Amino acid sequence: MKIIGIIPARMAATRFPNKPMAPILGMPMIGHCYLRSKMCALMDEVYVATCDKEIFDYIESIGGKAVMTADVHERATERTAEALLNIEALVKDVQYDIVVMIQGDEPLVDPDMLREAAEPLLQGDRKVSNLIAYLPTQEQRENPNNVKVVRDLNGDALYFSREPIPSGKKYSKQINAYRQLGLIAFTRWALLKFVSLETTPLEIIESVDMNRFLEHRIPIHMEITQYQADSVDTIEDLLRVEEKMKSDKLFQSYKTE
């Protein structure tokens, strides 16, 4: 099976404009995401998908692969789907079986996480797989930038929310709460199915792509990872990640200075 990693990125993010090109130890954040994703041996290719020439030119300047997409997409999944078709149109006689969507705001992503996201789709009839990580503190559970998820007994998603779920209002014991990470694997069918489906109410209310699948009754497998990715949604996040990057072993292998 052929597997491609696609990193959707745009400069016009509402919470943090120009975020993909924000420097972290002298390298734009999107560069960290791209170079680390390229280290995953399971990927046949990795591309950045963007509507911004600045991002496109930067990725090409470091020897990477990028593809231009339309500037109308509100969902990262929609940009990723267009990118897949554009890439397949550019590279003749190639069709990818699995697409791993890698959010461009997790510059500490470990390449092994891409493997963890993709492998469940190699083992049976699953169509979508998403990495999740444990939330150790109440502050992290209440942070609306962390998308929380609850699962059924088979490990599939029940619901995604920016609110703390499950609720602890009537439960006094420890609750194991998890957040969605920016690594989602789709079969080719599932990714193209997403853009053919009607936008759904809970997807809009929560601003979470994957609720569209759930509202249309398409299961999403949730894979727990022990890796600690760190999303950048604010300037404060950027400063925290930069401190972590100073001692990051992977960074030492690709930094240019």
Mean pLDDT on 15-36: 93
Mean pLDDT on 68-82: 93
Mean pLDDT on 49-70: 96
The alpha helices in the chain, defined as continuous H runs, are 29-37, 53-61, 76-90, 111-118, 138-142, 188-196, 201-206, 211-215, 235-245, 249-254
**Nearest-CA neighbor of 148 among 137, 124, 164?**
164
Output the pLDDT for position 161: 98
Mean pLDDT on 124-148: 93
Question: For residues 101 and 17, which has the higher predicted lDDT (pLDDT)?
Answer: 101
Q: Tell me what percent of the residues of the chain surpass a pLDDT of 90.
A: 86
Predicted confidence band at 93 (pLDDT cuts at 50, 70, 90)? confident
**CA-based end-to-end distance of the chain:** 37
Cα separation of 191 and 127, whole Å?
A: 9
CATH number at residue 121: 3.90.550.10
Cα separation of 29 and 204, whole Å?
A: 27
Angle, CA 212 vertex, CA 214 and CA 89 arms, to 5°? 120
Question: For residues 17 and 222, which has the higher predicted lDDT (pLDDT)?
Answer: 222
Mean pLDDT on 198-227: 96
Backbone angles phi, psi at 26, to 5 degrees: 85, 0
How many whole angstroms from its chain centre is CA 14? 17
Cα separation of 112 and 208, whole Å?
A: 24
Mean pLDDT on 31-48: 97
Q: Is the pLDDT of residue 257 over 60?
A: no
The number of folded domains in the chain is 1
Cα separation of 79 and 68, whole Å?
A: 10
Arithmetic mean of pLDDT over the chain: 94
235: domain range? 3-254
Q: What is the pTM of this model?
A: 0.93
Predicted confidence band at 100 (pLDDT cuts at 50, 70, 90)? very high
